[in-house]
Amino acid sequence: MDIDIDDIKGLKRILEADIKKSSNVFIIGHNSPDFDSIGSCIGLSMIAKTFKKPTYIIVNDEDAKIEPGVKKIIDDNKEDFNIIKNNEFLNKKNNNSLLIVTDVNKDYMVSVKDYLEDINNIIVIDHHMKDEKTIKNSKKFINLNSSSACEIVTRLLGYFKIKYSTEIANYLLAGISLDTKRFKHNTTAKTHDVAEKLIDHGADIDYVNKLFLEEFESYCKISNLIINGTTIKKYSENLLSPIQVSFTLNRNQPKAIYLKEDYAKAADRMMKFNGIDAAFTLGYVDEKTIHISARSGKRVDVGKIMEEVYGGGNAQNAGGRVESDNIFEIEEELMNKVYLGISDKEDIIDEPPVIKIKQIKRK
């Protein structure tokens, strides 16, 4: 059955009744969590915890793919708020579990999409438009006038008269600040009212801005790496649809050290460009160790290419390490491996139009 909840006091009543009658409570936001998603999860978890129910927040994304500001919030709260992955959710859920979905209402945007039918009680709290993919058989409070899920959750905390820490006030303010682009969009009198309450609770706009800055600096660092250090090779005679592979490394400062996660993010970001079939990013993680992150779509098996020398992984996602003080030599070797890997028919997953390779085309 689908129930629409029209007002926030109604939502409060339903939350209270449903939390009380459930054996445990799971809270989930959207995949690739942002500040609004994680902040509202933590706020809702505060509410469920006041009813002394085992309460868990599900974040199933790989650590390396979570933005640094959000990752910091998750790391700092992992234990206090039982932040778990899908597998633990599957172990702990039962017929009396309550699932609260926040900052999202489409089924394909939550990591537990395939298990929604197993959950008897789902409450969706969101500020985005509904469509045909909106989670079925749930109670929904969807308020398009709210700036953010954190705005809704901050109001709920007020109605429940729950005290919360300065840190939590900061997370909620970060969520509102993100979704309103720092109070410039979708901002109503209620948004300001809620922000004032958070500041009363000790929220500090400087702290919130610092969280944003961390995201921004990391974004720029990876953009620079991509812009200044990417070369693209075509590995095919088929002019209509050549296999295109990108190789990214810091060519101006080849000895520069980055975090392993940065290489993964750069490769992920390269894969978003149309026509890139595989992306390799390489660089140092300490003075002598080179890390390689490899990603691909359907046409190249990067796991196979990587496993030969440097490491391993699966067809779409692989990585590895090698010790060397000449990164360009390693890149050259990698390009050869890719060439050999692609020319071996077995390495082409999901057979595309016939691909013949005679030589690597160089720029």
- What is the nearest approach in angstroms of Mn ion to the Cβ of residue 148? 5
User: In which residue are the tokens 């090779």 written?
Assistant: 233
- What is the nearest approach in angstroms of Mn ion to the Cβ of residue 150? 7
Q: Which of 90/144 has CB closer to Mn ion? A: 144
Contact call for residues 131 and 22 (beta carbons, < 8 A): no
Residues at the contact surface with Mn ion, assessed by CB under 5 A: 36, 103, 148-149, 179
- What is the nearest approach in angstroms of Mn ion to the Cβ of residue 291? 33
- What is the nearest approach in angstroms of Mn ion to the Cβ of residue 104? 8
Q: Which of 40/77 has CB closer to Mn ion? A: 40
Q: Which of 125/249 has CB closer to Mn ion? A: 125
CB-based burial label for 290 (10 Å; 0-12, 13-18, 19+): buried
CB-based burial label for 307 (10 Å; 0-12, 13-18, 19+): middle
- What is the nearest approach in angstroms of Mn ion to the Cβ of residue 143? 12
Q: Which of 18/179 has CB closer to Mn ion? A: 179
Q: Which of 198/279 has CB closer to Mn ion? A: 198
> Token pair of 338, please?
């890719």
Q: Which of 36/331 has CB closer to Mn ion? A: 36
What residues contact 241, with CB distance under 8 A and at least 6 apart? 352, 353
CB-CB neighbours of 313 under 10 Å: 19
Strands, DSSP E only, in the chain? 3-4, 24-28, 55-58, 83-84, 97-102, 121-126, 139-142, 230-234, 244-248, 278-284, 289-296, 311-313, 317-323
- What is the nearest approach in angstroms of Mn ion to the Cβ of residue 305? 39
Which of 54, 56, 41, 19 lies closest to 101, judged by CA? 41
Angle at 248 between CA 247 and CA 252, to 5 degrees: 130
- What is the nearest approach in angstroms of Mn ion to the Cβ of residue 100? 15
Q: Which of 148/244 has CB closer to Mn ion? A: 148
Q: Which residue is nearest to Mn ion (CB)?
A: 36
**Helix, strand or coil for residue 320?**
strand
